[in-house]
């Protein structure tokens, strides 16, 4: 296996903190195989005392090692303005690991998730592929955003914001059935920039303009696909504020009833449930305009099922955090199964997001999920790649057939 880090001019260092000496020894060996140096610690205060001097690119840490505990250590790392990555080690209840990940994200730390024990080299390598060899990842300064509002306005004016598409597949047939539009910034100096680097800095007005821009681009791409015989649904992420934009229905009014593409506006579960009357009114008006509303990241908020019943929702998207560990975590499996059952009873589509391993497809089909998307099936692609992807052979049916699982009907 080739090293991930081969630049001899720069030292790529990982600090490893765990109580178990066997865990530390295995990790040290694996990091060496991947081309990284490592320093190992059994006490958090020792690691913190050397943090600034060593300037590691990565901290790998367990959550159970006395005082301070792992979550408290995350806060201490943030206080010292640690700018590298953090990878958590398993060994505690999965819920605790997830809480720790969320705390780290909230504190501004760059979290690589959690790695289960015993650690496998392939899994460690996959996690570390996100690192940039030879340099520390830079955090966006809190008081001086990397991108100003004026730069974002200029990017919109210069048409530097483009759209890539996350493919969505129908489980019952394995066919490419739709795409989720994802904005990218083609920066003239930096190159392709993902949405996490600039969406949080948008004003409400910029967000509405961007949503209309993405929908317009997606509709134009869908028309080109239609001319090539590819008919797909279009999903576009929106905020609650975006839904008040009167231009959204206007962008699709030129289409005849039932004409492709079906436009699905995805709103997060929490935002969809904040104001029952307003949410119902907006969703109803969009439905009358020929668009549908999906609840994104379903399962991570605290929904009222009565509100869910009242809203004219056509799709539930199960959050990737439940799908990722579906095969290993019985609680995650129970939540996915319950959401799929809810969707079937309500007669709406149920999409499982974040599919990374195809082994979970038979389980999702058995539970009654109707559609799937994720990097295990396809990464986001430019518009020009969609026709070839639609014409290709999907691995979904083969994987489900091999398992002997049956699939349900798609609403």
Place of tokens 């969707």: 343
Q: Report the range of poorest mean pLDDT among 252-256, 271-275, 366-370.
A: 271-275
Average of per-residue pLDDT across 121-148: 58
Instruction: Judge whether residue 350 has pLDDT over 70.
Output: yes
User: How confident is the model over 228-267, as pLDDT tens digits?
Assistant: 999 999 998 887 667 666 666 667 655 545 555 678 888 7
Residue 194, both tokens: 């993902």
Instruction: Judge whether residue 204 has pLDDT over 90.
Output: no
Look up the pTM and report it: 0.66
How many of the other CB atoms lie within 10 Å of CB of 223? 12
Average of per-residue pLDDT across 3-8: 56
User: How confident is the model over 84-95, as pLDDT tens digits?
Assistant: 899 998 777 777
Confidence of residue 96 (pLDDT cuts 50, 70, 90): confident
Query: Would you say 177 and 349 are in contact if contact means Cβ atoms under 8 Å apart?
Result: no
Q: What does the mean pLDDT of the chain come to?
A: 78
* Residue 393: φ, ψ to 5°: -85, 125
Which DSSP string corresponds to 33-87?
HTT-EEEEESSHHHHHHHHHHH--SEEEE-S-SSSS-HHHHHHHHHHTT--SEEE
Instruction: Judge whether residue 399 has pLDDT over 70.
Output: no
Question: What is the β-pairing status of strands 191-193 and 176-187?
Answer: antiparallel
Q: Report the range of poorest mean pLDDT among 35-44, 45-54, 240-249, 339-348.
A: 240-249
User: How confident is the model over 299-347, as pLDDT tens digits?
Assistant: 555 455 665 666 677 888 888 888 988 888 888 899 999 989 988 888 8
Residue 194 has what DSSP assignment? -
């Amino acid at each position: 296996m080739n090293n991930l880090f081969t630049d001899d001019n720069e030292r790529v260092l990982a600090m490893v903190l765990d109580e178990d000496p066997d865990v530390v020894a295995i990790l040290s060996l694996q990091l060496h195989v991947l081309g990284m140096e490592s320093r190992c610690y059994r006490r958090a205060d020792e690691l913190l005392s050397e943090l600034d001097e060593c300037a590691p690119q990565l901290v790998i840490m367990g959550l159970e090692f006395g005082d301070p505990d792992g979550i408290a250590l995350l806060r201490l790392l943030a206080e010292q303005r640690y700018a590298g990555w953090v990878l958590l080690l398993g060994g505690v209840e999965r819920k605790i690991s997830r809480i720790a990940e969320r705390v780290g994200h909230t504190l501004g730390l760059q979290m690589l998730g959690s790695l289960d024990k015993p650690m496998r080299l392939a899994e460690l390598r996959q996690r570390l592929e996100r690192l940039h060899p030879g340099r520390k990842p830079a955090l966006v300064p809190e008081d001086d955003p990397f991108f100003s509002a004026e730069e974002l306005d200029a990017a919109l004016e210069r048409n530097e914001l483009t759209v890539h598409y996350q493919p969505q597949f129908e489980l019952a047939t394995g066919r490419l059935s739709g795409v989720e539009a994802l904005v990218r910034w083609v920066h003239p100096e930096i190159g392709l920039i993902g949405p996490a680097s600039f969406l949080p800095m948008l004003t409400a007005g910029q967000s509405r303009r961007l949503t209309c821009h993405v929908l317009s681009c997606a509709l134009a791409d869908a028309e080109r696909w239609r001319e090539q015989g590819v008919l797909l649904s279009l999903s576009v992420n929106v905020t609650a504020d975006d839904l008040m934009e009167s231009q959204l229905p206007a962008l699709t009014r030129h289409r005849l009833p039932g004409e492709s593409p079906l436009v699905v506006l995805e709103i997060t579960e929490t935002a969809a449930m904040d104001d029952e009357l307003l949410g119902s009114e907006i969703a109803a008006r969009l439905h009358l305009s020929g668009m549908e509303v999906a609840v994104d990241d379903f399962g991570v908020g605290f929904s009222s099922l009565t509100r869910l019943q009242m809203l004219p929702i056509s799709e539930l998207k199960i959050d990737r955090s439940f799908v990722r560990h579906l095969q290993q975590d019985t609680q995650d499996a129970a939540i996915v199964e319950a959401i799929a059952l809810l969707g079937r009873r309500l007669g709406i589509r149920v999409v499982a997001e974040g599919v990374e391993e195809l082994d979970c497809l038979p389980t999702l089909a058995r539970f009654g999920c109707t559609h799937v998307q994720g990097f295990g099936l396809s990464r986001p692609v430019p518009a020009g790649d969609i026709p070839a992807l639609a014409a290709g052979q999907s691995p979904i049916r083969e994987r489900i057939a091999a398992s002997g699982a049956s699939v349900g009907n798609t609403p």
